[in-house]
Amino acid sequence: MTAHTNAPSSLPRERKRRITAIFWINLACQIGIIATGGIVRLTKSGLGCSSWPHCEPGEFTPRYHPESGLRPFIEFGNRALTLVLLVFAILVLVATYKHLRTKGKGFVRLSWVPLILTVFQAVWGMLVVYLHLHPFFVSVHFIVSPILVASSAVLVYRLYEGNGSARLAVNRGAQFVYWPLAAVGFIVLILGTLTTGSGPHSGDANTPQRFPFNPAKIAWLHADFVWLFCGLLLGVAIVLMVTKAHARSKRALAALTIVTLLQAVIGYIQYFTGLPEALVGLHMLGAALLSAGIAWLGASLFTWHPLGEGTAPDDHSKEAQR
């Protein structure tokens, strides 16, 4: 098998490095804004800035007031990171159209997702502020972020692939188990969001709004789907091991397994210890990594290398069994 390369081989090495850095930083920022959004919620800074896009009416930047402490600065900092996301989303799009169009129409279409959804997130964030952190709008604001992380992760993965058409690089059975895994993973994220929205971390220090769910019951429903996700993950692992899948899929599987286990451990500990802010924050960061891991594993099941290069095209090829 030939080694994978960063971006198209026809580009100069320094330019390939810059393009690769843009895509990786975009992914890191998409993960990072989930973490900073968690800090906003956990420090009850959701309405630290009462207006949008200004922090306060007539004041674009926050000011310190003893009664509000650092909450306006925390909220404003999270908003400022959105500008960074917009910059790198635009850079991803420019790099794609200028240097990576040979990756195919699917890659070009996917390169629009960071920009479109980041703009959506900015506008939706305005609604969250104007509607005083209504739990539905807060939850949608969060659940869009894992989609951004997943799409950004696939874009990064594709940089290391060829410019051919997508073909399965593993046994077809892995694909049949993977798609239910991805669907259940998304349900896990939604239920996790509902669980947080039903608990004490509403994001506003003064007038908390929550979903009308029993926190314990929604938490256990969330845990049930986590166990289902673990079962499907085991199913993917069995198929990949039995069919001797290529090393990239096995590495992606191992990474996703580690993140899943850590998330499960953190989830149970935070539940039985009264939801300490530090653990809830780690759990939210873990949700972002889980999204990236699911997407990365899915991308690893395919190859875009021409025949005879990279990973073999289908589950019947001799290369795929090496």
Neighbouring residues of 45: CB distance < 8 A, sequence distance ≥ 6: 39, 70, 71, 72, 74, 75, 203, 205
Q: Is 104 left (phi over 0), alpha (psi -120 to 50) or beta?
A: left
Distance CA 27, CA 248 (A): 19
Enter the pTM of the model: 0.87
R_g (Cα) of the chain, nearest Å: 21
The pLDDT, as a whole number, for residue 312 is 39
The pLDDT, as a whole number, for residue 293 is 97
- Strand, coil or helix: 201: coil
**Nearest one of 257, 81, 98, 88 to 156, comparing CA atoms:** 88
The pLDDT, as a whole number, for residue 24 is 97
- Cβ of 125: how many Cβ atoms within 10 Å? 19
Q: Enumerate residue ranges in the chain where pLDDT < 70.
A: 1-10, 201-209, 307-322
Distance CA 92, CA 100 (A): 10
- Strand, coil or helix: 2: coil
Helix (H) or strand (E) holding 224: helix 215-242
